[in-house]
Structure 1
Amino acid sequence: MRTRVLRCRPFTRILAFLLLVLAFSVYCYYYSAAAYHKSSNNLPSSEDDDFKPPPPFFKEKLRQEKVIQEQCPVLKESIADIDTVSVFPSFEFQPSWLRTKEFWDRSFEERYEKTRNDSRRPRLKVIVVPHSHNDPGWLKTFEQYFEWKTKNIINNIVQKLNQYPNMTFIWTEISFLNAWWETSHPVKQKALKKLIKEGRLEITTGGWVMPDEACTHIYALIDQFIEGHHWIKTNLGITPKIGWSIDPFGHGPTVPYLLDKSGLEGAIIQRIHYAWKQWLAERQIEEFYWLPGWASKKPSLIVHNQPFDIYSIKSTCGPHPSVCLSFDFRKIPGEYSEYTAKHEEITDKNLHSKSKTLIEEYERIGSLTPHNVVLVPLGDDFRYEYDVEFDAQYINYMKMFNYINSHKELFNADVQFGTPLDYFNAMKQRHKGIPSLKGDFFVYSDIFSEGKPAYWSGYFTTRPYLKILARQFEHQLRTSEIIFTLVSNIIKQSHDRRLGGSEKRLEKYYEQLINARRNLGLFQHHDAITGTSKANVMYDYGTKLFTSLYHCIRLQELALTTIMLPDETLHAQSILQSEVEWETYGAPVKKLQVSLIDRKKVVLFNPLAERRTEVITVRSNTPHIRIYDTMSNTYVQYQISPNIDIREDGKRVISNNNFDVVFVATLPALTAVTYKLEEHMNVSHHCVVFCNNCNNQDSDKQSIFVTKKMMPGDIQLENSALKLLVNRNTGFLKQVYRKEARKKNVMEIQFGAYQSAQRHSGAYLFMPDYDSPEKNVLNSYSNWNSLQDDNIIIVSGPVSTEITTLYMPFLVHTLRIYNVDDPALLHGILVENIVDFENPPKNRETELYMRIQTDIQNGEPPEFYTDQNGFQYQKRVKVDKLGIEANYFPITTMAWIQDEDTRLTLITNHAQGAASFDPGRLEVMLDRRTLYDDFRGIGEGVVDNKQTIFQNWLLLEPTTFIRSKRDTSESFQPVHERHFRPDQKTTDYQLPSQTADFLSRSLNYPVNIYFIDTSEMVRDVQVKNYQTLVQNFPAGIHLVTMRTITDDILEQFPSSSCYMVIQRAAHSCSVGSQLEKSTSFTTKTRFNGLHIRNLTSVSLTGLKTYKSLSGLEDIEIEPVEVKTFKIRF
């Protein structure tokens, strides 16, 4: 059969060829765009001539595809050589060497002797780092320490390093360096900068303080790093390269992450559990890459762990403190201590023997590493305040250094003064196989005091009043930063001369804003937010926080007045006022009243970059009110609740002069909305009160509220999602029924306390007295047998229903649920506890907890999850071999327990300790009072407790995943035997639900409430709503801050630029319901009335510039990550 051949005309062949070329071109463009997307983390800068962004069409296509893929991304746990959760339970916590306080035993000595004779090992290289650890407050206040010690120390650094050209030094606390700079002569400033340029004085970390890592929140951590880094860049012209964190009481992965994102190369840590010290030393692991919990790009920052107990000379020259004491050459007339007892100057007679002893200790440190490079800190707390100490340390050490370096045949070592950067440079040249680690080093435990374990888990909770005040201040500072940045730049871009006065008034507040940043930064110090300073020093911290909080609120009032009141003649008057009045530090906050006469407009500002629905409560002098939303032009859901005064004689009096107006507000992102109060007579909005001992009046008027007696039996609270059962005998939650799931859960709230072990439990340490039973602290405050129902009050209305239980004056406990059309508020249970320890000696040696016992099967031994600095999340597993104090962990925003069906999340608004000792149990420590010192330095107990208001959300949610089986293997493969495999199985990284994440932000960043006060005016004031964004930020993006950058020339004045720090929140796809799906920034994402002149991607603290962006729509950020962008308006 004859084959038929398809013949085409020339025109058809040309057309087909052109179509083929077009298809190939499309493929190439798409491939290049995809490659661009995949390598976005490693893009060249915009200054690179070879850099060409992909075409807009394909960028938009990729963006749309990314939205689909990332609506609920499933993150995997990072894979590391060392997983602290798996390794820690395998330790021997009562080793034979415990009483000697030194892990260095015969096995270490034998390895040392073997390695020193190994000709293949590189020569020992020792970097001795003189340092002075200066606490910005501890036994004395910041100012007292500066005048008494620190000013002299920095002066001596400048003088003696110029005198001794071979000596080096480091400095970490920028708060102190700033205080010195402001009072020092320009000649000294110039000399200090010269030392830095020469590399002999190194600025380490660069934060405002050396922050605690357990109790701090990510906002405050970032803010104090930015403040410190910019001070360094502005005044010294450098960027820090190495972190120095030698005194925080335990370490976590958040600070290394932030340092890595800030561009640092290395970090040094010190205080970790004594068993970790031994374990790492056995395996010659001093350096590691600290991975975040979720699988992501490996950080470039290397973490170095100091191998011995503490940073003093006694513990840094080698494994034997008794030997190291003799190498501390400080000798001050009148001082007598353990090191002065062993003091011996270096002379020609003892030079050889002392050098030999010293180098042997250094060699022992070197044997703990594969690279034989040793870092030896030379200092202690507030050292070198006397110039004679500089002389003594330098002269004696240089004699030995010169002798050792000139006798290589005897010592085979290079010894020198240096800096941490010198150490990392030398180490990296020799050491390439650095392992990775994930997890953290909490709880820290030492043994150097008594030769037995002491767990530093008390400070997670110590002084909760100040921990809560600090978080409230963070919120007010963040709100002030955002409002100031937006309003000041709107005024500048308006070019309206009538607003010139307003601009100057705002600029006047900028100096106070700088002070607020620095006071918040100061409180992140590891002896401040931890509550581990003397009582008078803690009071000083508190007054600083309070003063700056006051200034922040005044700034907000001024800025919002400027932007919301069209009549510029009113801007200088105090018309817009905060609804709360902070009178003095430690005093209860007072709420101002709204009024139909002179305070009939309420302004609500939403400081979050997301739309939110909240329940707002304002105080009123009349119940005849309704609320009108001027943005949506609708009346809102509301109720009138009673104010019940609980008097000393036990009577409960319902006020006829004060009422709570509770209403529902839906607020767009970063928006200030005005709500009008109108007179309205409608008793259907009045709450019903169930109270057996409530007086219906405090005047001649009849109460407007219907008061009923309670029915017998357990008490039930209900909304459309939940049904709560409250134990009638205790007044505490007993059971929760979830209507959607049609499931009952046991959920018993209990209060109790551990009896403190005297002199072993204090500001730092937590140690219960195991010979004493747990304390039923409520027994002495209850009279349930005689007045069973008199201590319970129920208030029920159309917006909320709550039950309050009284154990006066020790505890006032409230449960509240909402009846609103919002999934998060509908499913959450708000818990409020007002705790008053009264004056000592009442409630002495008391460690008060709130315990929630459920039927959730969270394993045996139990496991639970905690947040880390409000940023990432960590699994915790009870170690049965250890006591209660070792199984308490820090939380800053939330903790949860879960099984295959249910998760219970507890959300908090401050740092506290949490634990899960038994299946189904989750408990948090509320407050602590210990009359005795725990012998960790402050020399006093903790008895300055204040009445404190605790707020938590409880959230029960269904789960759809199956909990992975725990790896019970106690074996650990040596690092050199571990190999990553492409098929290595990983588990999902556990994250909070979207509802829990929203409730956490709602609790920590509440709506700011203000009144329009027209009491001194004869006319009504026109107010316009202020909406910041044309289109909201994507649902998954949290605006950490918008922080105005100080002017380069005028130090106390703002520039037109700011740092916008954002985090992309990540949520579990297997827990609860998804409220909103993530989207990307688009071309519609822009600020209302503000033009962005320049947008640049920068390092976390802004010191390094990466690339320019054409607009907000070019922002890309991976889940959990934090990024900073510099905006010039």
Structure 2
Amino acid sequence: MAIHGGVAFVLLFAGFSASVTGKCSFENCGHYDNSSYVVHIVPHSHMDLGWLKTVQQYFYGTNAGENNIAVKLIYDSVVSELLTDVNKRFIFVETGFFELWWNHSSDASRESFRKLLNNGQIEFISGGYVMNDEAATYYTNTIDQMTLGLGILRKTFGECGVSRVGWQIDPFGHSREFASLLSQMNFDGLFLGRIDYQDKNAREESGTMEFYWRASESLPKSRLTGVVLANNYSPPPGFCFDIYCNDDPLVEDKESEEYNLPGRIEKLMEWIGTRAPFFATNNFLITMGNDFNYHSAHKWMSNIDILIRYVNTRKDLKINGLPVRFEYSTPSCYLKAIRGAKLASKADDFFPYSSDPHAFWTGYFTSRPAFKYLDRFANNLFQAAKQLAAMAGLGGGRLSGLSRALAVDQHHDAITGTAKQFVNDAYTRSTLKGFNEARDVIAEAFVSLSRNDAGPIVFCKSLNVSECDEIDGMLRNGGITVNAYNPSSQLVRTFLRIPTTDGEEAFSVTFCPYRRVLFALPERSGKATHEIVFPIEIGAHAFESVSIKPKKTSWASEFPSEVEVPTYRRLRPGKREFVERRGDTELRIHPTRGLVRMTMNGVTINATAGYYYYESHAGDNHDFGHRASGAYIFRPNVSSPVPLPITSQEIIKGKTVTEIHNTYTDWLSDVIRMTGDGKVEVEWVIGPIPVADKVGKEIIWRMDTDIDSGSEFFTDSNGRETLKRTRDSRPTWDVSLEEPVAGNYYPVNTRIAIRDKDAETTVLTDRSVGGSSLRSGQIEIMLHRRCLFDDAFGVGEALNEPGYDGEGLRIRGTHTIVVQTPDEFDARSASINLALKPIVVFSKEPLETSQSRINVTTLPDIVQLLSFEQLAENEFLVRLENKLERRAGAGTVTVDFPALFNDRIENVKETFLAANIDRPSRTGAIRSVRLYPMEIRTFLVTLK
């Protein structure tokens, strides 16, 4: 299978060696001059921060009935073994487990670890708090978890704690944006374990397992070296020496009848020799380790020692005509060894990933949708809390709990929804505990920034289920004030919705009655029956307060022009089509088929939209053909989903909003909401998905239009740049699909779009989902899944979430539809607004808030203040982002840096993206900051 698609070959740039050379990382690297064929033996242990056990259980070794893994003992064992021989080496990856071990270790153990790190025997690779997923993660979460992990290492070890090599050996596919972020963190290379089996076959045939990754169309310097490992991340067959493996140890005693070296080495050399042509140089990397290996590092390394001694004395052993040399090594040393090689170039990503013809790992794009939303909302709260704490000068470290919880949530078995149910419950508890921390910080910041005493700050903790008992009494007893903070760097015009037990007779604002389905949500315990709906406009990083007061007895006569009584129109299935208008938005709707045509932003398209479900494939997984749909895998029984027709409909029209309430079944309903702002919002409630028929179901929302999009559609990459997708095709290899639906699904973090020369339709999501365009003019996104069979990739249980009441998971969410002429809609800014929604608190009286640390009015419209975080008393972490892509017409923009901080800067230095490495050429008196399209620049700022 040939690689095609304009593959270019690139000579690794000369500056590579300078950027990866360091006193700690490379002093122990071997000599690489093509006089020998070097086999780099890399001992490692892949340690998931939660999967079959919780993080704490994995660390201490509890819940031994599941397995007796104890990460603490792995660290102890490795350190002890490395101290016996300076030639032995080991790599650690996940800083989250390292932090736990360090905090629970003696001074002597810490000093031993530091010694091993300083002399190059231990090396941290990647260095993030976790090995994050790359499909369902939002880019700010990834930056934060990498910054946390790398910051801990730098603070603990100085220069020796700096990592510049990525190690993504277990995530289920790889995003271009993650590679771009690593490049902006000054990483030089990225090692991958899992890529599509057809892609891997093609790379092996063409010898392109190493490649030069151009990771951004907007940032030409965003590039690094990619390496696909020969055997995922496992040792060669027959050479696993862990206590959990059954391979025989190596016996070097020639007098023993168990002597087995010649035969074992012959098989290993044959295994390496068949794979040597897959790689570009006379270097080959062997991963010696696997999941949670090295409880007995001595067992592992004593066998590796025998292997190295034997091979290095056999001068007759050759590969590529060169004598073979085995040595302990690291990924960093391997990159040093292949410096200057001529490598293939790549500019796309590695989605979707399949491991066999019927196993497309595209189900996890949607699995556990409630947790995916929790993660997105928690990030929203976290970013706002960091900003407010910095504005109020509350000091650093106040959000460490939420910071670590969110970091763990990015783990490739957490945000993916592929951990056991009780482990996911633990992730949720940890995140919700962080919520309380953030709420305390936000409340304290509001009070600190306010010039008046407005009474206690109150949060609504259950707005996701449309109740807020905390303010119900305040509403009836003199009214409340809604105080909102906008954490984004652009003006926001939106609608706030506040639950109340009173109807339109009590207040002078638009009221919308709740759908009956909301009363059935098991999480609800309050009595709210309506929601107050009102528009609000909030400036960038600004505050706004709106007071809501009860009507007086003489309200109707005193303020007749402001009284509004919502109107209702009830339609039954079978009636004629009707048209609803709000501003320049017009929807033509059929009472049973739903949407028929829409006009928005001056563009009209014929469009239908509704809900369908795929029946999940059942199976026992004993072969590829019997693969089941599960937490990882999406595999529908047939390619055509089952439609769900509308069974009842109601129109609610108010002064500021028009809502079309649709019921499809007793477990699925939605609201189509029009506010006249050039967008249409669809709010849905799904679940519990019925499975009494013993058939799993996977729910999609699909829109069919007359847009002539052909086979092309567009998705975002981790909330940043847009990638073009082509149905039934891959950019760099010929693909054969036996699963035409699942094989065309891609991650949708914030948006998916189709276009032709006249129109473009974009769907913005409130969480990460899977999506596709399976026909011209069509968009579909998967919203919920309930599968009854495990897909046999390790988690050991079906994706059958019990929900709050044990009857099955109910979820609520929204997506937004925008139709416009091509390239006119700023989808990136709109997606940022959805990810950074206003934070709302309540008080008795309006808060008179102000702050003077930053002057965001100096920011150009296309610049996002991505990070504003207080690290110490007068020290702040600041990131600025040019949020538009080059092809979206964005150019270079300049920020007046002193003016941003009201000329109060005492000192500033620029760092790379993770804030752990200085950029000396950009440190000093920084007057203006130039940002290229999609560029993020990071600063440590000391204010007077």
TM-score by length of 2: 0.86
Q: 1:169 to 1:684 in 2, by over 3 A?
A: same
Q: Which whole-Å CA distance do the structure 2 matches of 1:887 and 1:843 have between them?
A: 27
Q: Which whole-Å CA distance do the structure 2 matches of 1:873 and 1:130 have between them?
A: 37
- One-letter amino acid of the counterpart of residue 735, structure 1: R
Q: What's the CA shift for 1:793?
A: 1.9
SS in structure 2 of the partner of residue 814 of structure 1: strand
The structure 1 residue matched to 2:444, chosen from 555, 558, 561, is 558
- One-letter amino acid of the counterpart of residue 716, structure 2: D
Q: 1:158 to 1:728 in 2, by over 3 A?
A: same
Q: 1:896 to 1:773 in 2, by over 3 A?
A: closer
Q: What's the CA shift for 1:683?
A: 6.7
Aligned length: 862
Q: What's the CA shift for 1:222?
A: 0.1
Q: How does 1:505-654 map to 2 (within 5 A)?
A: 506=394, 511=397, 513-566=399-452, 575-581=456-462, 592-593=471-472, 595=475, 597-620=477-500, 621=502, 623=504, 639-643=510-514, 645=516
Aligned to 1:139: 52
The structure 1 residue matched to 2:246, chosen from 325, 340, 350, is 340
Q: Which whole-Å CA distance do the structure 2 matches of 1:283 and 1:710 have between them?
A: 59
Map Cα deviations across residues 93-148 of structure 1 (whole Å, 9 max, x no partner): xxxxxxxxxxxxxxxxxxxxxxxxxxx97521011001111110000011000011
Q: What's the CA shift for 1:847?
A: 1.0
Asked if 1:953 is matched to 2:816, the reply is yes
Q: What's the CA shift for 1:304?
A: 1.1
Asked if 1:403 is matched to 2:310, the reply is yes
Q: Which whole-Å CA distance do the structure 1 matches of 2:145 and 2:139 have between them?
A: 10
Q: What's the CA shift for 1:434?
A: 2.5
The structure 2 residue matched to 1:467, chosen from 372, 377, 384, is 372
Aligned to 2:869: 1043
Aligned to 1:414: 325
Q: Which whole-Å CA distance do the structure 1 matches of 2:497 and 2:92 have between them?
A: 48
SS in structure 2 of the partner of residue 1116 of structure 1: strand
**Does the aligned pair in 2 maintain the 1:833–1:949 contact within 8 Å?**
yes
Map Cα deviations across residues 752-776 of structure 1 (whole Å, 9 max, x no partner): 1111111321000111113x86334
Q: Which whole-Å CA distance do the structure 1 matches of 2:469 and 2:726 have between them?
A: 43
Q: Which whole-Å CA distance do the structure 2 matches of 1:179 and 1:807 have between them?
A: 49
**Does the aligned pair in 2 maintain the 1:133–1:380 contact within 8 Å?**
yes
Q: 1:473 to 1:931 in 2, by over 3 A?
A: same
Question: What runs of 5+ residues in structure 1 fail to find an aligned partner?
Answer: 1-77, 84-119, 318-323, 489-505, 628-637, 694-708, 785-790, 820-825, 960-991, 1014-1019, 1046-1053
Q: Which whole-Å CA distance do the structure 1 matches of 2:899 and 2:505 have between them?
A: 41
SS in structure 1 of the partner of residue 775 of structure 2: coil
Asked if 1:849 is matched to 2:700, the reply is yes
Q: 1:662 to 1:609 in 2, by over 3 A?
A: same
Q: What's the CA shift for 1:872?
A: 1.2
Aligned to 1:312: 234
Q: What's the CA shift for 1:1012?
A: 0.9
Aligned to 1:73: none
Aligned to 1:1086: 900
Q: What's the CA shift for 1:520?
A: 0.3
Taking only aligned residues, the RMSD between alpha carbons, in angstroms, comes to 3.1
Q: Which whole-Å CA distance do the structure 2 matches of 1:813 and 1:900 have between them?
A: 31
Q: 1:811 to 1:646 in 2, by over 3 A?
A: closer
- One-letter amino acid of the counterpart of residue 1029, structure 1: N
SS in structure 2 of the partner of residue 864 of structure 1: strand
Q: 1:260 to 1:399 in 2, by over 3 A?
A: same
Q: Which whole-Å CA distance do the structure 1 matches of 2:280 and 2:629 have between them?
A: 39
Asked if 1:774 is matched to 2:649, the reply is no
- One-letter amino acid of the counterpart of residue 146, structure 2: F
**Does the aligned pair in 1 maintain the 2:694–2:788 contact within 8 Å?**
no
Q: 1:893 to 1:300 in 2, by over 3 A?
A: closer
**Does the aligned pair in 2 maintain the 1:817–1:830 contact within 8 Å?**
yes
Q: How does 1:63-462 map to 2 (within 5 A)?
A: 81=8, 122-148=35-61, 149-237=70-158, 238-299=161-222, 301-308=224-231, 310-313=232-235, 317=236, 324-325=237-238, 327-330=239-242, 332=243, 339-340=245-246, 345-348=251-254, 349-385=259-295, 387=296, 390-411=297-318, 412-428=323-339, 431-447=340-356, 452-462=357-367
Q: What's the CA shift for 1:617?
A: 2.2
Q: What's the CA shift for 1:610?
A: 1.7
Aligned to 2:838: 1007
Q: Which whole-Å CA distance do the structure 2 matches of 1:210 and 1:587 have between them?
A: 35
Map Cα deviations across residues 703-754 of structure 1 (whole Å, 9 max, x no partner): xxxxxx9994223210221210111124x2221134734xx31111121111
Q: What's the CA shift for 1:1112?
A: 7.3
SS in structure 1 of the partner of residue 931 of structure 2: coil
Map Cα deviations across residues 219-248 of structure 1 (whole Å, 9 max, x no partner): 100000000011001112221121111000
Q: Which whole-Å CA distance do the structure 2 matches of 1:993 and 1:347 have between them?
A: 74
Asked if 1:896 is matched to 2:709, the reply is no
Asked if 1:829 is matched to 2:680, the reply is yes
- One-letter amino acid of the counterpart of residue 264, structure 1: F
Asked if 1:763 is matched to 2:631, the reply is yes
Q: What's the CA shift for 1:685?
A: 4.6
Q: 1:424 to 1:958 in 2, by over 3 A?
A: same
Q: What's the CA shift for 1:910?
A: 0.8
- One-letter amino acid of the counterpart of residue 304, structure 2: Y
The 10-residue stretch of structure 1 (875-884 or 946-955) with the greater mean CA deviation from structure 2:
875-884
**Does the aligned pair in 2 maintain the 1:1029–1:1086 contact within 8 Å?**
yes
- One-letter amino acid of the counterpart of residue 227, structure 1: L
Asked if 1:668 is matched to 2:546, the reply is no
**Does the aligned pair in 2 maintain the 1:673–1:1026 contact within 8 Å?**
no
Q: 1:328 to 1:226 in 2, by over 3 A?
A: same
Q: 1:710 to 1:592 in 2, by over 3 A?
A: farther
Aligned to 2:718: 869
SS in structure 1 of the partner of residue 45 of structure 2: strand
Q: What's the CA shift for 1:1062?
A: 2.2
Q: Which whole-Å CA distance do the structure 2 matches of 1:906 and 1:644 have between them?
A: 24
Q: 1:530 to 1:79 in 2, by over 3 A?
A: same
Asked if 1:485 is matched to 2:407, the reply is no
Q: 1:1069 to 1:176 in 2, by over 3 A?
A: closer
Q: Which whole-Å CA distance do the structure 2 matches of 1:1030 and 1:297 have between them?
A: 29
Q: What's the CA shift for 1:1042?
A: 1.4
Asked if 1:1096 is matched to 2:881, the reply is no
Map Cα deviations across residues 267-324 of structure 1 (whole Å, 9 max, x no partner): 211100111111111221222221124153344531111134x2122xxx3xxxxxx2
- One-letter amino acid of the counterpart of residue 81, structure 1: A
Q: What's the CA shift for 1:562?
A: 1.2
- One-letter amino acid of the counterpart of residue 1103, structure 1: N
SS in structure 2 of the partner of residue 362 of structure 1: helix
Q: How does 1:972-1011 map to 2 (within 5 A)?
A: 993-1011=824-842
**Does the aligned pair in 1 maintain the 2:864–2:882 contact within 8 Å?**
yes
- One-letter amino acid of the counterpart of residue 433, structure 1: K
Q: How does 1:653-732 map to 2 (within 5 A)?
A: 659-678=530-549, 679=551, 681=556, 682=560, 685-692=563-570, 712-730=575-593, 732=594
TM-score by length of 1: 0.72
Map Cα deviations across residues 585-635 of structure 1 (whole Å, 9 max, x no partner): x998767446274543221111112222222222354646889xxxxxxxx
Q: 1:649 to 1:755 in 2, by over 3 A?
A: closer
- One-letter amino acid of the counterpart of residue 226, structure 2: V
SS in structure 1 of the partner of residue 351 of structure 2: coil
**Does the aligned pair in 2 maintain the 1:582–1:590 contact within 8 Å?**
no
Q: What's the CA shift for 1:1085?
A: 3.8
Q: What's the CA shift for 1:1009?
A: 1.4
SS in structure 1 of the partner of residue 900 of structure 2: coil
Q: 1:236 to 1:126 in 2, by over 3 A?
A: same
Percent identity, please: 24
SS in structure 1 of the partner of residue 399 of structure 2: helix
Q: What's the CA shift for 1:442?
A: 0.7
Q: What's the CA shift for 1:658?
A: 5.3
Q: How does 1:919-934 map to 2 (within 5 A)?
A: 919-934=776-791
